[in-house]
Amino acid sequence: MNNKLTLGIFGFGVVGQGLHDIIKTKNLNLAIKRFVIKHPEKKRSLPAELFTTDANAVLEDSEINTVVELIDDADAAFAIVSKALRSGKNVVSANKKMIANHLEELVDIQHRHGTSLLYEGAVCGSIPIIRNLEEYYDNELLHSVTGIFNGSSNYILSKIFNENLAYATALKQAQDLGFAETDPSLDVGGFDAKFKLAIVASHAYGLYVSPDAILNIGIDALETPDIQFAREKNFKIKLVPTAREISDEAVILYVLPKLVAPDNILYAVENENNGVLVKAAFADEQFFYGKGAGGHPTGSAVLSDIAALRYGYKYEYKKHIEAGALTYSTDWEITVYLRYDEETLIEKLGFAAISERYYAHDYKYVIGRINIGNILANRDVINRKGVFIAEIA
């Protein structure tokens, strides 16, 4: 049955405006009653009576049966979403940080109050990866889910490798286009990708893992020697989150820059696009590709969730019911390239083996095998100027 939805929308920024642009072109069984905004002094493209700064004008309005949450503040978003779900309203959210940090509690609230929270727009923009993990792969054994989850960092890396732009110039372009925030640390530091990875892992493997427990190293320490090394070896650098089942009992999760070769499918994913590679026991390899940043791509994913709510759709979280034996682990070795400044760092990181070393006056690197847990334990000394680490695919 196609139920009519009356929407209250929190936020009218890039995604909120993109969503409105799409909705007004469609003849859908829904109506927008109110937008809740933070800055009433800003000029808006819609009539003033549609806007309010009072959250309760939406949350306590009995006519509004669906809340759409599109704000930046994760703490405020959680308060909004949890209150809406408890009051019997269904919710669509694109706030990956809020969802990743509170997913287990939000699932419990949904079950207790019979409401539905959908969040396709929180992960990989226009790519419908959450719905596919929930529906298509619900009975699959997934070997891994990996790819490019952050359009902002991928745009920056594409400009560096394809157009020889300096890092700072590429970052400024991404900000000017609305792909990166004024404070880009969430994107270039790998935090945005980590939040998305935690959500993906929940739907792929039935695990609730705190983002704080997941290794994330970004591209913000990337320097000219690293770019030259990659080019000499015919690699490109991509920021890649990885979820992988390493045994019948354990799953690893981490976000690292990765040196990818031309035969890697991620090599050709450029600009603000995302690409998700799923390796499964029976379906084998499947690749999802699409826009990962921008108001219209994310807005289209949000609208897809809104449309699904018209028919009573809910995530069933089936993998959680069957995931009893799986645990999260950081005990796994990978091969890395490490540019470093102090010899003590090599000993501190505890390389299991080193296959290549290079010394120059202003540039030193090693290639070797290292345990993810060792990187995680020492991420504070890695996340600094003078050090850059990347996995070698």
- Same domain? 156 vs 103: no
Q: Residue 328 and residue 252: Cα distance in Å, rounded?
A: 6
377 within a domain of the structure (yes/no): yes
How far apart, in Å, are the Cα atoms of 340 and each of 161, 262, 282?
22, 26, 42
84 within a domain of the structure (yes/no): yes
- Same domain? 93 vs 40: yes
- Same domain? 99 vs 231: no
- Same domain? 112 vs 142: no
For residue 323, what pLDDT is reported? 60
Q: Residue 287 and residue 145: Cα distance in Å, rounded?
A: 10
- Same domain? 20 vs 92: yes
Just list the catalytic residues: 196
Out of 97, 118, 139, pick the residue that ends a domain: 118
Side-chain half-sphere exposure of 191, counting CA atoms within 13 A: 14
- Same domain? 82 vs 40: yes
- Same domain? 138 vs 114: no
- Same domain? 109 vs 233: no
Q: Residue 58 and residue 15: Cα distance in Å, rounded?
A: 19
Q: Residue 390 and residue 162: Cα distance in Å, rounded?
A: 19
- Same domain? 178 vs 107: no
Side-chain half-sphere exposure of 281, counting CA atoms within 13 A: 8
Q: What pTM was computed for the model?
A: 0.95
305 within a domain of the structure (yes/no): no
302 within a domain of the structure (yes/no): no
265 within a domain of the structure (yes/no): yes
Q: Residue 307 and residue 33: Cα distance in Å, rounded?
A: 16
Q: For position 85, which CATH number holds?
A: 3.40.50.720
- Same domain? 151 vs 90: no
List all residues 6 or more positions away from 249 whose beta carbon is below 8 Å from its beta carbon: 325, 326, 327
Please state the domain count of the chain. Answer: 2
Extended strands (E) in the chain: 5-10, 30-36, 51-52, 66-69, 90-93, 117-118, 142-148, 215-216, 236-245, 250-260, 273-280, 284-291, 327-329, 333-340, 353-359, 364-371, 388-392
Per residue of the chain (393 residues), give pLDDT as tens: 578 899 999 998 888 888 888 888 777 888 899 999 998 888 888 888 899 999 999 999 999 999 999 998 999 999 999 999 999 999 999 999 999 999 999 999 999 999 999 999 999 988 999 999 999 998 888 999 999 999 999 999 999 999 999 999 999 999 888 787 778 999 999 999 999 999 999 999 999 999 999 999 999 999 999 999 999 999 999 999 999 999 989 999 999 999 999 999 999 999 999 999 999 988 899 999 998 777 788 888 899 999 999 999 999 998 887 666 789 999 999 999 999 999 999 999 999 999 999 999 889 999 999 999 999 999 988 988 899 999 998
3-state secondary structure 167-201: HHHHHHHHHHCCCCCCCCHHHHCCHHHHHHHHHHH
What is the CB neighbour count within 10 angstroms for residue 43?
4
262 within a domain of the structure (yes/no): yes
For residue 120, what pLDDT is reported? 94
166 within a domain of the structure (yes/no): yes
For residue 19, what pLDDT is reported? 87
- Same domain? 108 vs 246: no
308 within a domain of the structure (yes/no): no
Q: For position 245, which CATH number holds?
A: 3.30.360.10
Out of 118, 139, 156, pick the residue that ends a domain: 118
Instruction: Provide the residue range defining the domain that includes 288.
Output: 131-295+325-392
Q: Residue 32 and residue 21: Cα distance in Å, rounded?
A: 12
